[in-house]
Amino acid sequence: MSGQVQNEFSPEAAAKLPSPLDVPEAMWTRYSTRAPRYTSYPTAPQFHDGFDRDRARAEYEACRERDAISLYLHIPYCERRCLYCGCHLFIKKDRTVGREYVTRMLREAELVTALTGRGRRVLQLALGGGTPNFLLPEDMRRLIEGLRERFEFPADGERSIEIDVRTVDEDYIDGLLDLGFNRFSLGVQDLNVEVIDRLRKNQSSDYVGRVVEHLRRRGVMNALNFDLMYGLPGQTAETMAGSVDEVIAMRPSRIALFGYAHVPWIRPHQAGVEKLGLPGDAERVAIWGTAFTKFQAAGYVPIGMDHFAEPEDELYRAQIHGVLHRNFMGYTTHRGLDQVALGVSSIAAVGAVYVQNEKELTNYDATIDRGELPWIKGYVLTDDDRVRRDIIIDLFANFHLDTAAFGRTHGLRFADAFAPEIERLAPLVADGLLEITDEAIHVHPLGRFFIRNVCMVFDRYLGADTARFSKTV
């Protein structure tokens, strides 16, 4: 990265970066569309059940030669569905159902390690859902101990878990710490009681504060993430300002500020959100911008498209050096790791292949019980896919692509190989959102709010039907 780009990411410069409030309304209108969030490329709609399973197995076996992996586990249970939720989950009141699920995930881990080899080093473990702390304490312990029998977890590795603050107590948190978890993500969404009650979440800031205080007492100081959401019914710039002030007072080390993705044609339960009344585009931008500017003023540095971090955080250091990465787990510093995934609906990215597990519990259970990997869909990347994936990752995560170095790495002349894409970026260049030189594509600070628009230009599969994706505004 050039010094110019590094300076743009300094804490001093970050405090002066434009916010969504600085974007002209006409520009929001011009670039408002639906686009992927690019946690993968190609994106999930390209996955299909006719993928080359032999090639997928070969890619898993080939990862034996690489140093380490990341590991994601999907826990698909919640006791109640929140109206905004876009996750793949099942509603259960009886937490003992997690017992058999753990048993099958460990069987799946055995099937996976038969390909990858036992004892693979896991630099990044993440449990998501659903609600991972839906598992009873004894089932969570059995799960982690079973993983330890099949993988190696180095002392300096990251072990993260998503927590529902309404359904966790201090003893459960202590158990997680004893099992080695060292990063905690709290699904807060909003701290305004009126907003959150509309969404059937029934959460108060007291729940959040209690969990934060206990984690701090136990020494978790710089490994705490809050997930927030803007664009929800009942939110205004004023209510968001109050929620953000409460978040800042608790001082998490990272904040994810997601725009609510309203897709009731994919998630039918979200029709209930629509009946409550959603903010219009202008109000949505005001809510987003209010949160953005307050986090900036509090000393947080914007990371990627929708995250913030303390200046001491490793995500910020990776962004400074242009090596921030993005995968199914979100923003990460672990670029190049194979991502193995276990559990219902989870997606793995190993070598040149993506594989997704069965989405229905009964099908998942039956496949595991037959001693087969529960892959239902997948995709084998072409050489062109891998080149475009690298472009999209660098732009999406780091807002900069050294096209000269990229061309040398991939044996191509960027301006020739991507002449149509460069031409389609011309309107964004004219609007001052990015610049293109013989050496690089650089996204300007204002252009960061339109990074999905930039990346979709390089997506050769993205047709006219983008309804399954969330809005860029």
Structure tokens at 371: 């001693």
How many other CB atoms are found less than 10 A from the CB of residue 296?
18
Structure tokens at 61: 């076996």
Q: In angstroms, what CA-CA distances link 344 with 66, 128, 149, 333, 376? A: 26, 11, 21, 26, 10
Residues 6+ away with beta carbon under 8 Å from 189:
82, 84, 196, 199, 201, 203, 227, 228, 229, 232
Distance CA(286)–CA(317), nearest Å, equals 29
Q: How far apart are the first and last CA of the chain?
A: 28
| CB-count exposure of residue 181 (10 Å: 0-12, 13-18, 19+) | buried
Pairing of strands 183-189, 158-163: parallel
Per the CB < 8 A criterion, the answer to whether 336 and 326 are in contact is no
Structure tokens at 287: 């809510």
Per the CB < 8 A criterion, the answer to whether 196 and 189 are in contact is yes
Q: In angstroms, what CA-CA distances link 458 with 351, 402, 437? A: 21, 15, 17
Distance CA(339)–CA(173), nearest Å, equals 26
Per the CB < 8 A criterion, the answer to whether 367 and 105 are in contact is no
Reported as a single tens digit per residue, the pLDDT across 419-433 is: 999 999 999 999 999
With left for phi above 0 and alpha for psi between -120 and 50, is residue 144 left, alpha or beta? alpha
Residue 327: strand pairing partners: 330
Per-residue model confidence (pLDDT) at position 270: 85
Reported as a single tens digit per residue, the pLDDT across 284-316 is: 999 999 999 999 999 999 998 899 999 999 999
| CB-count exposure of residue 392 (10 Å: 0-12, 13-18, 19+) | buried
Distance CA(439)–CA(233), nearest Å, equals 45
Q: In angstroms, what CA-CA distances link 359 with 75, 160, 362? A: 12, 23, 9
Distance CA(354)–CA(245), nearest Å, equals 40
Per-residue model confidence (pLDDT) at position 7: 53
Distance CA(272)–CA(268), nearest Å, equals 8
How many other CB atoms are found less than 10 A from the CB of residue 422?
17
| CB-count exposure of residue 54 (10 Å: 0-12, 13-18, 19+) | exposed
**Sign of the CA dihedral with 426 first, then 432, 433, and 435 last:** positive
Per the CB < 8 A criterion, the answer to whether 307 and 257 are in contact is yes
Helix, strand, coil percent values for the chain (each to nearest 5):
45, 20, 35
| CB-count exposure of residue 314 (10 Å: 0-12, 13-18, 19+) | middle
Radius of gyration of the chain (CA): 22
Q: In angstroms, what CA-CA distances link 104 with 121, 294, 373? A: 22, 45, 11
Greatest CA span in the chain, whole angstroms? 60
With left for phi above 0 and alpha for psi between -120 and 50, is residue 329 left, alpha or beta? alpha
Distance CA(455)–CA(421), nearest Å, equals 10
Comparing CA positions, the residue from 266, 198, 182, 195 lying closest to residue 228 is: 195
Pairing of strands 440-443, 400-402: antiparallel
Per the CB < 8 A criterion, the answer to whether 32 and 25 are in contact is no
Tell me if residue 202 falls in helix, strand or coil.
coil
Distance CA(386)–CA(74), nearest Å, equals 26
pLDDT along the chain (473 residues), means of 10: 52 82 94 91 95 98 94 95 87 96 98 97 96 97 98 96 94 98 95 87 82 95 94 96 97 95 84 87 95 95 93 91 86 89 97 97 97 98 97 94 96 97 97 96 95 96 79 79
Element (H, E) at 59: helix 53-62
